[in-house]
Amino acid sequence: MKVPFLDLKAQHAPLRGEIDAAIAAVIDEAAFAGGPFVVRFEADFAAFCNCPHAIGVGSGTEALWFCLLALGVGPGDDVITVPNSFIATAEAITYCGATPVFVDVDERTYTMDPAALKKALTVRTKAIIPVHLFGQPADMDPIMEFAREHGLFVIEDACQAHGAEYKGQRVGTLGDAGCFSFYPGKNLGAFGEAGAIVTANAELQDKIRILRDHGQIRKYHHTLIGWNGRMDGIQAAILRVKLRHLESGNQLRRSHAAAYNRALDGIEEVVTPHESANVRHVYHIYAIRVQERDEVMRLLGENGVGSGVHYPVPIHLQEAYRSLGYHRGTFPIVERCAAEFVSLPMFPELTPAQVEIAAQTVREAVTVGVIA
């Protein structure tokens, strides 16, 4: 039995009728760029997040960028974040003209270490972007306390954490704003590129709405220099359908993660994901840590089990960010994890048998001589 790393066809097959009808409705109304379908999705997603405002945009990267712009982050400013994220987190900072300043992470959660913030603080620091990596919420209370003490904005990168919770509160609603990606493989995925921002700040959401539509307050009247960052009507209609199934999908992901944990329990050579107390992890990625990763992945592949690495080169060691002056060894936890992570198959439609095959293959890899 093959175990794909991701199977979007299996996800979409039972929803095909609903999705086809949603797309047909957009075609019938010819509401393709922004418009009523986006407005309806924004209302639904705001309700899902228990937040007053949601703004649909073209991608998760744009969500981060628009938030920073709307908060006045620009040239001369520093923004603290982590280097074990997709590069979009840093790109958004750079494209505002600001400078990413990285901190290391907690070794159990792989999210921002709040104790590292003090050392990274400068007179130029304007904001903090904690990343809810793999669906695990960052430790937001001390991050928010530090931010408020120093007058900093907090933008949550929740692009991998749709429906995750921190102390009973949905991620994205803990800081000044939260950013989500709807890239197709995410827990809530579009049929292309899309993203959203949630915030309780009415003034901030007004400014973001203006920025995403070429700086217009109404057609051909531009109060800001904006950008074309509107969400497509078809993506919004599809996302409305899939949003209705997000909670059940997250529950299945959590069930699969628990099955993996049981199957890999007691194997010293494997570090399984940790779920912090008082949080709800939604397992966008189920990443284990092993030594001799390439050998483990080779055996997985030979047995028909898909796998991946998130992310093999931390942002501070990317060629694109060489100018920041970081070097190998600067963030030892991030770098160690980057060398050891293996992402196992994780999507709602996995079967118990597929989970067991993937886990059994990992067990064999680490206990029958491949890396022992």
For the chain, give every domain's residue range: 8-243, 246-367
pLDDT of 367 = 85
Given a cut of 80, whether residue 369 has pLDDT beyond it is: no
Q: Which two tokens stand for residue 25?
A: 């409705």
Question: Does residue 312 surpass a pLDDT of 60?
Answer: yes
Amino acid 197: pLDDT: 99
Q: First and final CA of the chain: distance in angstroms?
A: 26
CA distance 46 to 200: 10
Tokens linked to 30: 């010819």
Between CA 275 and CA 260 the distance in angstroms is 13
DSSP structural state of residue 125: E
Three-class SS state of 82 = coil
Give the per-residue pLDDT at 372.
Answer: 44
246-367 folds as Aspartate Aminotransferase, domain 1 (3.90.1150)
Query: What are the distances in angstroms from CA 299 to CA 337, 350, 363?
Result: 20, 20, 11
d(CA 83, CA 98): 16
Please say whether the beta carbons of 224 and 264 come within 8 A: no
- Stretch 35-54: mean pLDDT, rounded? 98
Question: What pairs with residue 61 in β-bridges?
Answer: none
Non-local (6+) Cβ contacts of 212 within 8 A are: 55, 57, 58, 62, 66, 226, 227, 228, 229, 230
Q: Own/partner pairs for 349-355, CB < 8 Å, 24+ apart?
A: 349/7, 349/10, 349/11, 349/252, 350/3, 350/252, 350/256, 352/259, 353/1, 354/1, 354/3, 355/256, 355/259, 355/260, 355/263
Cβ pair 341, 307 in contact under 8 A: no
Q: Supply the pLDDT for residue 113.
A: 98
Would you call the peptide bond into 311 cis, given omega within 30 degrees of 0 as the criterion? yes
Helix, strand or coil, per DSSP, at residue 102: strand
The amino acid sitting at 294 is D
Helix 16-29, helix 233-243: angle, nearest 10: 150
Inform me whether the pLDDT recorded for 146 exceeds 50.
Answer: yes
In this predicted structure, the answer to whether residue 371 has a pLDDT above a threshold of 50 is no
CA angle 282, 342, 1 (to 5 degrees): 85
Alpha-helical regions (H) of the chain: 8-12, 16-29, 36-49, 60-70, 88-94, 117-120, 140-150, 202-211, 233-243, 246-264, 293-302, 332-340, 352-367
The answer to whether 281 and 136 have CB atoms below 8 angstroms apart is yes
CATH of domain 8-243: 3.40.640.10
Average pLDDT over all residues of the chain: 97
% of the chain with per-residue pLDDT over 90: 98
Rounded-to-integer distance, Cα 362 and Cα 342, Å: 10
The arithmetic mean of pLDDT across residues 229-246, rounded, is 98
Same fold, 8-243 and 246-367: no
The DSSP H or E segment spanning 343 is strand 341-344
